[in-house]
Structure 1
Amino acid sequence: MIRGVIIDNSIQDQTNRHIVEVNKKLNLANSIIRHDINNCLSVLRGCIDLIVEEDCDGRFVQPVKILSSVTDKASMLIQGAKTYQEIGINEPQWILLDNLFEHCSDSHPGIVFFNELKGVKVLANPLFKKAVYNLVENTIRHGKRASKVWVFCRKKEGGRLVIYYVDDGVGVPMEQKESIFEYGSGVNTGWGLFLIREILSMTDMMIREIGKPGEGAIFEIVVPKGRYELCDHS
């Protein structure tokens, strides 16, 4: 009986090592491919610059504009793919939300932040910072008239913590409240809210949008019991 357990553990260890090795090779392959594509995009940008210099009569203004837009989008897609690849690589870490949103306030002077998350920590994927940044970018790009953001939290039944992110923009239409988290949704690259949900799910967090259309967006981030700390938080 004991021998059988040892054999099973040995097989499991071998399988785990194989999975780790395969993931390393996949990550390496993805990195090489991204590097090569970026090199191609650099060449394409150089060609676009040459066309602009030689286009004395402005015949190629519109084609150049289209090429530049497509090149920029391809570059953003590659960056999004890199971020998605990194989601499962690093171990969770404790992140102080107060400092995180203070940094967002400094880097987005056009938005006034009302931060009530002093002393709140969450055990999250290191890319949680990217998730927060994407939320702010979502407000700027889709909130249209948005100028203010409120962040606060409330403890709920079962020991869960709910973090609220509220803006004063145009809100989200009822029929889009779930689809906005799907890959390819919206304009630009389609990575934004999709990446947020994927990053949060790595530590069993959930996100949804519950705001009233026309009155601003309200995002709820649900943090499981044991994955947060409230230090000096009233």
Structure 2
Amino acid sequence: MSLRLLEWLILGILILTCLLLAAKTFRKEKGRLRSLFIILMLTFCGLFSTLALDLWVESMDVRVFLGGLQVLLFSIACILLLFFDLEYAGKGRWLTVRNVILVSLVPAASMALYWTNDHHHLFYNWVSFNVVQDTVEMYTDYATVFFLLYLYIHALTIVGSLFVFYLFSNTPRTQKKQTGIVLAASCLPWLVSTGEVTFYMSGSYIDVLMNFSSLTLAAVLYYIGTFTFKHSDVTPLSYDAVVENMDDGVIIIDSDGALGYANSTGREVLGLGPEVMGRPAENVLVPLGLGPFCGGHAASSHEKWLNDRMFNVKTRHIPGSSGVVQGHLIVIRDVTEERRAKDSLRLANDKLGLLSMVARHDMMNKLVVQRGYLELAGYNNGGRLTEERRQIMLSNVEDMENIMIFTRDYQCLGLKSPEWQPLGPMVLVAERTVHPPGIDVLIDAQKVELYADLMLQKVFTNLLDNSARHGERVSVIHVWTEENQDLSLSVLYEDNGVGVPMEEKEKIFELGHGRNTGLGMYLSRQILGITGSTITEKGRPGQGCTFEILVPPGKWRKAS
């Protein structure tokens, strides 16, 4: 087998190895490490392919072009190795567009000088070709810019290795094996870059093949240490996966007040994109109710409403090895359901007490009246009930029935989570339920939805029932909405009856106050209060009633 054929065979094995690593990595879970590794493998394949072509072609101009392409691809590979090491070491927040451009400026400028070398000879002085063992070897006398580029990309690989070494030195013993494998992979490119200089200065293809082989070995070690290490429960990579998929939001702010990291939950809660990493963290601290540097407290905890959800926000310092604060950790936990459970328990206890009081007090009063009239019935008209007393007794029975209906309705209040409900159709259903005789109901609220308790319809049933019972001369009821400047919504209910006296405007919402059971308007205010809405009476006495339901911002929307 000729030497040239052996060289092609080795390059073919290296290319196939890198393609296989890229294909196997593609099947792994998506992430920046995976993307960087796949791009790195494809760059290696391109680098090895240019050398294979260099071995095949004989045109001097083409080989000079391929030589420049090799320098370019090797520079890109070293930059990608730096990025991979930074991401693995937990410094991925530095991989911003600005930093990527800055790191790439020196290679880009160097390659521009390479392609224009004939005008200045800053990259190389001359290129010569000699026949060695029936093959044409290319010799290049490199100039200043090449050596500056070599030192630069060599420094990049060393910087990446230093970060991996720092991670290795600060990890527990159970993690040393994996990080040690990655550290070894990170150091191997130093040999590659040294071999590249040897190759370009001496023209030895054997040197570059050996160093390309060591570069491929580094790729294999990277793959083993990063993607196939068995003890995933004790690897830094697993930490990223665990934190990224937590139900709690995790945010890290560095000592300069810049946003260092935010997991998927934290980004979703705050509406952040990946481009904000490394930028000032005001857009994180302000919505969470935190001041600069988390208020300067070593640890804090408070609750904050955000996007109609309640979050518990905990902060703490991240101390360094010398005790100096390196940053701040913020943990955001959605406690909406927990808060609702506590509120539901408190509401249930309040309901039990109120229901007991209402049922015992009101029912006892009605039974006393009923007993008295039953006793009086025996002393008048030969023991026969008069029509007047019969009506009073029937009214008492009806009142007791209404009290029991109230206890049933009140028991259901707040048991289910509020939902979005169309206002117009709901008022229409309430009208059909009450069916007030001789009264026209006008509804101008067809394109509005309210976020309220599922008993919201009971509010309008009570209003319609009161208009029919106590309005005396009501002939028209009008329901409409008005948007306010503070983004709240006013739902207005108006009739043309006798109205509500000034001294009664607030009392009608008190428990037990009213001409009938005194429970309907109290229940209505309780239903609306679950989602922060209020109800007041603002009509003029003698000219009809006007009830205003004020719905806060975020609890109403225009129907689609």
2:395 corresponds to? 69
Contact 1:148/1:167 (<8 A) preserved = yes
> 1:226 — aligned with what?
554
The match for 2:443 among 89, 108, 115 is: 115
Cα distance, 1:88 vs. partner? 2.2
**Contact kept? 1:105, 1:112, Cα under 8 Å:** no
State the match for 1:99 in structure 2: 425
Alignment length, in residue pairs? 200
| Alignment-mate amino acid for residue 77 of structure 1 | I
Residue equivalent to 1:164: 492
Deviation at 1:75, TM superposition (A): 1.6
Q: Mean alpha-carbon deviation: is it higher for 75-84 or for 159-168? A: 75-84
TM-score normalised over the length of structure 1: 0.74
Residue from 195, 200, 204 that aligns with 2:528:
200
Measure, in 1, the Cα distance between the counterparts of 2:523 and 2:474: 22
Amino acid at match of 1:108: P
SS of 1:214 mapped into structure 2:
coil
Tell me if the contact between 1:162 and 1:221 (Cα under 8 Å) persists in the aligned partners: yes
How far apart are 1:104 and its partner, in Å? 3.3
Shift of 1:58: 6.4
Instruction: Name 2:385's counterpart in structure 1.
Output: 60
Q: Secondary structure at the match of 1:84?
A: helix
Q: CA deviation at 1:87?
A: 1.1
In structure 1, the residue matched to 2:302 is: none
Identity of aligned residues (%): 32
Distance (Å, rounded) in 1 between the aligned partners of 2:510 and 2:347: 27
CA RMSD of aligned residues (A): 3.3
Residue matched to 1:178: 506
User: Where does residue 79 of structure 1 map in the other structure?
Assistant: 405
Flag the structure with more relative contact order, 1 or 2, with Cα contacts below 8 A and sequence separation at least 6.
1
Match of 1:138 among 462, 466, 471: 466
8 A contact 2:495–2:544 mirrored in 1: yes
Q: Is the 8 A contact 2:430 2:457 kept in 1?
A: no
CA–CA separation in structure 1 for the residues paired with 2:547 and 2:346: 38
Judged with a 3 Å threshold, the aligned counterparts in structure 2 of structure 1 residues 149 and 21 are, in CA distance, closer, same or farther, namely closer
Partners of 2:540 and 2:348 lie apart in 1 by: 42
Aligned pair partner of 1:210 in 533, 538, 541: 538
Which runs of 5 or more structure 2 residues have no equivalent in the other structure? 1-297, 300-313, 315-337, 371-376
- 1:191–1:115 distance in 2 versus 1, CA, 3 Å: same
- The offset of 1:109, in angstroms, is 4.5
Checking the alignment, whether the CA contact within 8 Å between 1:105 and 1:111 is kept in structure 2 is no
**1:60: Cα distance to partner?**
2.5
**Cα distance in structure 1, aligned partners of 2:461 and 2:487:** 27
Tell me the distance in 2 between the aligned counterparts of 1:165 and 1:119. Answer: 16
Superposed displacement of residue 110, structure 1: 2.5
CA–CA separation in structure 1 for the residues paired with 2:513 and 2:504: 9
The 3 A distance-change label for structure 1 pair 183 and 222 is same
2:51: which partner in 1? Answer: none
Secondary structure of the corresponding residue to residue 229 of structure 1: strand
What's the secondary structure of 1:198's corresponding residue? helix
TM-score, normalised by the number of residues in structure 2: 0.32
In structure 2, what residue type is equivalent to 1:59? R
- Residue 509 of structure 2 aligns with an amino acid whose one-letter code is F
TM-fit CA distance, 1:66? 3.7
Paired residue type of 1:82: R
Render the CA deviation track for 1:108-149: whole Å, top value 9, x for unaligned: 352201111011110100111011100101111111100101
Shift of 1:57: 6.0
- Counterpart CA distance in 2 for 1:154 and 1:85 is 32
Point out the more displaced range, 144-153 or 82-91.
Answer: 82-91
Shift of the alpha carbon at 1:185? 1.4
Q: Which structure's residues are more often helix, by fraction?
A: 2
**3-state SS of 1:122 partner:** strand
Partner SS, residue 486 of structure 2: helix
Q: How does 1:15-30 map to 2 (within 5 A)?
A: 20=345, 23=348
Letter of the structure 2 residue corresponding to residue 98 of structure 1 = G
